[in-house]
Amino acid sequence: MFGILRAIRRRKYRRLEFPSQWYAILEEKVPFYQAYSDEQRERFCTLVKIFVWEKHFIGAQGMEITDEVKVVIAASACRLILNLGIKYYNRLTEIVVYPYVYTHPDQEGVIYGEAHAWGTVVLSWPAVMHGIQNPYDGEATGAHEFAHVLDRADGVFDGTPLLRTGAAYGPWVRVMSRHFLALQKRNKKQRKVLRMYGATNEAEFFAVATESYFEKPEKMKRLTPELYQVMLRFYGPDLGSSSQDNPDSDQEEG
């Protein structure tokens, strides 16, 4: 039932024009948008507008939710699903944004963002901004947290999202575990590609590998080619022509 309503709503959103002032936000604040081809920009903007209109943005601790906040956060979320489709975020309903680096009341230390179990993502606005404006340092809070959302989309938080085909699980598990264990052993190649935080557990490994795939694809391709391949098979190509080395570039509806 909800699925039908959502499909109707999304159809309506697809028809509505992309707000012109949002283009300026993307041009100014989202460096990877500038590198997209025209065809990618078009697909990307469709995802961004559905995301902004469909999800609830909640400002915590006096955080003001402006168009800039919504569009930049939607951009960092939609970068991940450019070739996957908006359905990967079906379970995500709200995004809580803090005006500073967020500290969890129950935990020691500082958390830059946190993907909660059901439908909520908690983000620090300065951390998201820092991540998006330094596109090649391998650290991207937005990409990291939204990778956790993709991971949970299949109902399990284990470092394996819903893959495109059943046949993809074998190679995925094999390659991801091999590199996860290598990072835990502080292997040189893996450390050059991945932040050590990825050695925490499989879920963090997937989120950290996602950051590297989008921020240091060349390095990942050169030093850990198998890992690059499984990420490419899941996410599809980030830049360049949409179908070139995309194993299945079929467009998702709904």
Secondary structure, 3-state, 181-231: HHHHCCCHHHHHHCCHHHHCCHHHHHHHHHHHHHHCHHHHHHHCHHHHHHH
Taking CB atoms, the residue at the shortest distance from Zn ion is 207
Tell me the closest approach of the beta carbon of residue 111 to Zn ion, in angstroms.
9
Residues 6+ apart with CB under 8 A from 172: 160, 163, 230, 234
- Interacting stretch for Zn ion, rule CB under 5 A, among 28-36, 50-58, 155-163, 197-205? 197-205
Q: Which stretch binds Zn ion (CB under 5 A): 27-35, 99-107, 162-170, 205-213?
A: 205-213
| Binding region for Zn ion (CB under 5 A) out of 19-27, 58-66, 70-78, 198-206 | 198-206
The C-alpha atoms of residue 192 and residue 196 are separated, in whole angstroms, by 10
What is the closest distance, in whole angstroms, from the C-beta atom of residue 147 to Zn ion in the complex?
Answer: 8
Q: How many CB atoms lie within 10 A of CB 42?
A: 11
- Among residues 90, 87, 88, 97, which one has the least CA distance to residue 121? 97
Alpha-carbon span 35 to 26, nearest angstrom: 11
Which of residues 45 and 122 has its CB atom nearest to Zn ion in the complex?
122
Q: How far is the CB of 204 from Zn ion (least distance, A)?
A: 5
Note the residue count of the chain: 254
For residues 156 to 195, the per-residue mask of contacts with Zn ion, x marking binding by CB under 5 A and - elsewhere, is: ----------------------------------------
Per DSSP, the three-state class of 238 is: coil
Q: Per rule CB under 5 A, is residue 207 in the interface with Zn ion?
A: yes
Tell whether residue 123 is a contact of Zn ion (CB under 5 A).
no
User: Least distance to Zn ion from the beta carbon of 45, Å?
Assistant: 28
Q: Between 69 and 207, name the residue whose CB sits nearer to Zn ion.
A: 207
Binding segment for Zn ion (CB under 5 A), chosen from 8-16, 117-125, 186-194, 204-212, is: 204-212
* CA-closest candidate to residue 125, choices 190, 177, 59, 183: 59
Residues at the interface with Zn ion (CB under 5 A): 204, 207
